[in-house]
Amino acid sequence: MREQPEQQAPPVQRLRIRYAKRGRLRFTSHRDFSRAFERAIFRARVPMAYSSGFNPHPRISYAGAAPTGSASEAEYLEIGLAEVVDPATIHAALEEALPDGLDVVEVVVSPGGPFAELLEASRWVIDVAGSLEAAQEAVAGFLATDAVPVTRMTKKGLREFDCRAAVVSLAAVESPAGARLDLVLRHATPAVRPDDVLSGIASTTGFEAGPAPLLTRLAQGPLDAEAGTVGDPLHIST
């Protein structure tokens, strides 16, 4: 009979971490980041709690990872610890251990509850080619359309879905490089990404964002649908 695995103690503290993907590190995939983060917690000697079973692994929960190639100021994860530690100590240790461009922004004690449910929407900015006037006309045309079907290859094959329904707000504003789209996207199933919205704008208006538009997530968290704003999931009033 196979020996039963040792049961690990549950975490005594959970921390929620906001981190950023900047510069060239925006091309880091979620799998690459998870490997880099696990190496960082080992180098930083973070007292992690581990799962039970024949192959224990550190208790890390990832939520709402941005698509590969996009920059982000609002990526989140939660870790379980075997000891109670000052969040500022963990912040400093991880900041030292992670490569430049994968930057810890904030570490707070988790109040409990399912964290992923707090991530209802994201705010993105997208730097696009073309004039501000052309971008504003394209945005107006897109928003005037009730449904905008797009197709994208997913793990389950080629899938068609409406990208318009997930758009809470969209505006074209001036940027140092020309035009920028300010976009708030509701998290839905299937997930609608900023590049899906760009495809929808192109199909409805003919506006092309350019060969390599820079996508940056500025915020991710609870959605105030009436105001069209995205809140901070680490600091929620109860």
The answer for residues whose C-beta is within 8 angstroms of residue 131's C-beta and 6 or more apart is 178, 179
* Helix boundaries (H) for 188-236: 194-205
The helices-and-strands tally (H runs, E runs) of the chain is 4, 12
* Amino acid 205: pLDDT: 97
Asked if residue 14 lies in contact with residue 111, where contact means CB atoms within 8 angstroms, the answer is no
* Percent residues over pLDDT 90 in the chain: 82
* Amino acid 5: pLDDT: 62
Q: Assign 156 a pLDDT band (cuts: 50, 70, 90).
A: confident
Strands 13-21 and 71-81: antiparallel
pLDDT at 148 over 50: yes
Q: What is the per-residue pLDDT across 52-109, written as a single tens digit (0 to 9) for each?
A: 877 888 999 999 899 999 999 999 999 999 999 999 999 999 999 999 999 999 999 9
Tokens representing 185 are 């996207």
Three-class SS string for 53-114? CCCCCECEEEECCCCCCCEEEEEEEEEEECCCCCHHHHHHHHHHHCCCCEEEEEEEECCCCC
Cα distance between the two ends of the chain: 51
pLDDT at 138 over 90: yes
Please tell me the pTM assigned to this model.
0.91
Average pLDDT over residues 139-151: 97
What does the alpha-carbon distance between residue 230 and residue 220 come to, in Å, rounded to a whole number? 6
Closest listed residue to residue 11, CA positions, set 59, 57, 76: 59
Higher pLDDT, 152 or 196: 196
Q: Assign 1 a pLDDT band (cuts: 50, 70, 90).
A: very low
Asked if residue 211 lies in contact with residue 87, where contact means CB atoms within 8 angstroms, the answer is no
Q: What is the per-residue pLDDT across 166-217, written as a single tens digit (0 to 9) for each?
A: 999 999 999 887 899 999 999 988 899 999 999 999 999 999 999 889 999 9
* Percent residues over pLDDT 70 in the chain: 97
Asked if residue 79 lies in contact with residue 87, where contact means CB atoms within 8 angstroms, the answer is no
* Amino acid 190: pLDDT: 86
Place of tokens 């000891």: 83
* Amino acid 68: pLDDT: 92
Average pLDDT over residues 26-31: 93
